[in-house]
């Protein structure tokens, strides 16, 4: 009951401005889940962000939300995330960044902290690479998707089908829109693709309707 109430509470976290040297990489990406631009400062952060976009059970998140207590030390969290069963902070491998304002030694509302090692990201390297290819479709074409297109495509995936067949069956709809619709249904957890775990995304990537309905993020 406590976890369910927590999942419905206001997500208070906001990105902190980062103090960085010119030698630290700066990536700007667009998040379909948040509908805003993110500034990220490592390749690890890019990879983990792709995983956050991919998981339907993660309802929202915030990059560099502020300082937390880790191993008796204060450091900037890389992400705060909200799942259906509660919130947690994410700490990635590598040197910690520092916020411009250090008036808060750590966040006042401590949550569970999950440490993500590079080896954990490497284990999902193909899946991450595939999602980094799919996210630009959602960013560029998501506004062209209609409920009718998504429903029609979902109904056609009661049996597994490769992407090239899905695009052919949805003609005369533009294949780019069909592809984007398949990725959006995947993002929502309505369809799945086991191929994306171990094989590069391509015309033969198989999609099918998920056996169980996606989690109700608003229950």
Taking the model in full, what pTM does it have? 0.87
Helix 43-54 / helix 125-141 crossing angle, nearest 10 deg: 70
Outline where the chain has alpha helix (H). 2-8, 43-54, 118-122, 125-141, 147-155, 163-169, 175-188, 195-198
For the beta carbon of residue 77, count every other beta carbon within 10 angstroms. 27
Report the phi/psi class of residue 189: left, alpha or beta, with left for phi > 0 and alpha for psi in -120 to 50.
Answer: left
Residue for token digits 């595939």? 130
| pLDDT one digit per residue (tens) for the chain, 219 residues | 444 445 558 888 999 888 777 777 889 999 999 999 999 999 999 999 999 999 999 999 999 998 888 887 788 899 999 998 889 999 998 777 777 766 555 555 778 899 999 999 999 999 999 999 999 999 999 999 999 999 999 999 989 999 999 999 999 999 999 999 999 999 999 999 999 999 999 999 999 998 765 555 443
For 178, list phi and psi in degrees, rounded to 5: -60, -45
Which pLDDT tens digit goes with each residue over 98-123? Answer: 777 665 555 557 788 999 999 999 99
* Helices and strands (DSSP H and E) totals, the chain: 8, 13
d(Cα 80, Cα 12) in Å, to the nearest integer? 10
d(Cα 109, Cα 68) in Å, to the nearest integer? 9
Q: What is the model's pLDDT at position 103?
A: 56
Q: Which residues touch 39 (CB under 8 Å, ≥6 apart)?
A: 15, 18, 26, 27, 28, 63
In the chain, domain spans: 2-122, 125-209
Q: What is the model's pLDDT at position 68?
A: 86
């Amino acid at each position: 009951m406590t976890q369910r109430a927590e999942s419905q509470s206001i997500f208070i976290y906001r990105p902190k401005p980062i103090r960085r040297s010119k030698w630290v990489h700066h990536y700007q990406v667009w998040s379909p889940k948040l509908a805003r631009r993110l500034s990220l400062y490592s390749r690890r952060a890019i990879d983990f962000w792709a995983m956050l976009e991919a998981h339907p059970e993660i309802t929202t998140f915030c990059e560099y939300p502020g300082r937390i207590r880790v191993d008796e030390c204060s450091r900037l969290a890389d992400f705060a995330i909200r799942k259906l069963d509660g919130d947690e902070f994410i700490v990635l491998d590598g040197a910690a960044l520092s916020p411009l304002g250090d008036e808060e030694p750590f966040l006042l509302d401590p949550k569970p902290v999950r440490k993500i090692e590079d080896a954990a990201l490497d284990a999902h390297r193909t899946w991450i690479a595939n999602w980094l290819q799919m996210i630009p479709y959602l960013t560029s074409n998501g506004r062209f998707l209609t409920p009718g297109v998504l429903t029609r495509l979902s109904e056609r995936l009661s049996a597994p089908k490769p992407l090239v067949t899905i695009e052919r069956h949805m003609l005369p709809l533009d294949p780019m829109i069909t592809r984007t619709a398949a990725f959006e249904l995947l993002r929502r957890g309505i369809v799945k693709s086991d191929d994306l775990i171990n094989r590069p995304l391509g015309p033969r990537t198989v999609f099918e309707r998920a056996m169980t309905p996606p989690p109700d993020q608003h229950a």
